[in-house]
Structure 1
Amino acid sequence: MQPLILHIPHASTHIPFKDGYLVGEELLQQEINKLTDWYTDDLFDSPEDITIKADFSRIFCDVERFVDDQQEVMAQYGMGMLYTHTDAGQRMREVNPTLRKQIKEEYYLPHHQKLEVAVKKQLDQFGHALMVDCHSFTDIPFERDLNKKVPRPDINIGTDPFHTSQTLQDLTLEFFTSRGFSVGLNWPYSGTMVPMAYYQKNRQVQSILIEVNRKLYLDAVTCTRNRHFNEIKSVLNQYLHLIRSNVNDIFYPINNES
């Protein structure tokens, strides 16, 4: 059976080095606690699949941002590839061209290279590749969130018109709604990760974003797993099995169009 490619960009709390940071340890830890997609590497753990995980915090380098701040909408809020401000708007980090170049070349680009290689291997072996972009989100919106509508859903599904087939979207919606979860389609977050080498170029690379509301599995005060963690993990494992088992159906309409 063809494995999925699971992208886990925001689970780590590790900051490799602290050059440029202007705030103390306490405030930095507060931002880490707030912005980390806690335990998503465990929630989406799947030995059958290929996992590409960023082993550094998004506070250090966010691999899901465009490298060029001019292209990245969140850069104006201090959340580009290198975060410069806290969620409350306080200046957190001074980024000079030397620091940006170092982190881009030593962390950002190698991560994306791993992702591209994983996709290429799937294309070479199977003719297509299926990615799941694995995240979690807070029940209370961040100050910088573009969509602050509440109440927020249990599950957020993000899609791309070019890289998410209708079959993949429908399977995903049906799976979660049939189990009693409230679901937001491209709400509160939209889109899904696709390597730039294939973005808007190859429809045989399919991708879908799954964001889990942290209230379902996390104690927000202590940032520890709550008593429902294993239940949510089991649901996600069932979901991954479902789409893994339906890969041919997901790609069938695309193949017929080409």
Structure 2
Amino acid sequence: MNDILNSPDAQDSFAVLPGAVHSPVILHVPHSSREIPAPVRDGILLGDAALESELDHITDAHTAELAAAAAEAAGLTPWRFVNRLSRLVVDPERFPDEREEMLAVGMGAVYTRTTHRAPLRPADVDPRPLVDRYFHSYARAMTEAVADRLTATGRAVIIDVHSYPTARLPYELHGDGPRPPVCLGTDSFHTPPELVSLAEKAFAGLGGVGIDSPFSGAYVPLRHYEREPQVAALMVEIRRDTYMKEPGGPVSPGFARLAAALTTLVDAVDEWTRSVGTLGR
């Protein structure tokens, strides 16, 4: 584990890509990369072929490119926060101090099981070196990015860009519900109804929009969570068959339609936040 602690600066593991100074929007892309540093790879039990297959299933492929396309086309360029490492290194959207249900399937902040519940790391692995090296720096930087938007514009709107497979994977605890082309994950404190409505309208032409199924919730840094009503958040989960060849193949013609829809959402959020002034309840 000393190799992990001595690996290149953890800040190289993510990118904060500036947008317009007056934009409150942060497109957060946490699961798009397949990159695993060599010291981390040494602690993974899978052989090369099995690891590539797991990356095909666990990676939200092409979501960084989707966010980039929307940022380029938007009237007011949103900010982007992009994870450069695979979620098999650490999952920045898990909370390591929280005894959450994903730990039951080996998918806490540091995964010990694969999407098909096979061993990924030893069950007794110490997650602290990975959490200390990668998780905390990511969380601090995301917290600072949100605080920066609050200072600059008086508000921050986090749009979490994800994808999910057409067929339920064994690790999914709540995967028996609807699997629409676009699933919107919401938070009772940080997701105003107006934000949901804007997203439903933006993605309406893609074949169906659902709420909180098969995935729910929206990411907000802990410093702001349930404390700062000027931070709004929405998770956008895109079913992969709508824009790519599953499980880990190239994009399809649907990618352009999704990029246009995400651009529409970003533009609508900018207009909405200017019109309401604040996001207070």
Does TM-score exceed 0.5, indicating one fold?
yes
Aligned length: 252
Report the counterpart of residue 20 of structure 1 in structure 2.
43
Structure 1 length-normalised TM: 0.91
1:30 lines up with 2:75 in the alignment: no
Work out whether residues 63 and 108 of structure 1, in 8 Å CA contact, stay in contact via their aligned partners in 2: yes
Report the counterpart of residue 187 of structure 1 in structure 2.
213
Report the counterpart of residue 121 of structure 1 in structure 2.
148
1:78 lines up with 2:106 in the alignment: yes
> Which secondary structure does the structure 1 equivalent of 2:256 belong to?
helix
- For structure 2, which runs of at least 5 residues remain unmatched after alignment? 1-21
> Which secondary structure does the structure 1 equivalent of 2:35 belong to?
coil
1:214 lines up with 2:237 in the alignment: no
Report the counterpart of residue 9 of structure 1 in structure 2.
30
- For structure 1, which runs of at least 5 residues remain unmatched after alignment? none
- Pairwise mapping of residues 33-44 of structure 1 onto structure 2 (< 5 A)? 33-44=56-67
Work out whether residues 64 and 193 of structure 1, in 8 Å CA contact, stay in contact via their aligned partners in 2: yes
Equivalent of 2:180 in 150, 153, 167: 153
Report the counterpart of residue 87 of structure 1 in structure 2.
115
Distance change in 2, residues 1:150/1:206 (3 Å): closer
Distance change in 2, residues 1:151/1:166 (3 Å): closer
> Which secondary structure does the structure 2 equivalent of 1:146 belong to?
coil
- Pairwise mapping of residues 237-248 of structure 1 onto structure 2 (< 5 A)? 237-248=263-274
> 1:194: Cα distance to partner?
0.2
**What amino acid does structure 1 have at the position aligned with 2:187?**
D
> 1:21: Cα distance to partner?
1.3
- Pairwise mapping of residues 162-241 of structure 1 onto structure 2 (< 5 A)? 162-177=189-204, 179-220=205-246, 223-241=249-267
1:107 lines up with 2:137 in the alignment: no
Distance change in 2, residues 1:103/1:212 (3 Å): same
Work out whether residues 190 and 232 of structure 2, in 8 Å CA contact, stay in contact via their aligned partners in 1: yes
> Which secondary structure does the structure 2 equivalent of 1:169 belong to?
helix
> 1:96: Cα distance to partner?
5.5
> 1:72: Cα distance to partner?
2.1
Hey, what's the Cα distance between the residues in 2 that align with 1:244 and 1:59? 33
Report the counterpart of residue 78 of structure 2 in structure 1.
49
Distance change in 2, residues 1:251/1:162 (3 Å): farther
Distance change in 2, residues 1:176/1:221 (3 Å): closer
Hey, what's the Cα distance between the residues in 2 that align with 1:15 and 1:226? 26
**What amino acid does structure 1 have at the position aligned with 2:78?**
D
Hey, what's the Cα distance between the residues in 1 that align with 2:58 and 2:276? 32
Supply the RMSD in Å over aligned alpha carbons: 1.8
- The percent of aligned pairs where both chains have the same amino acid is 29
**What amino acid does structure 2 have at the position aligned with 1:75?**
L
> Which secondary structure does the structure 2 equivalent of 1:208 belong to?
strand
> 1:184: Cα distance to partner?
1.2
Work out whether residues 24 and 155 of structure 2, in 8 Å CA contact, stay in contact via their aligned partners in 1: no
Work out whether residues 56 and 247 of structure 2, in 8 Å CA contact, stay in contact via their aligned partners in 1: no
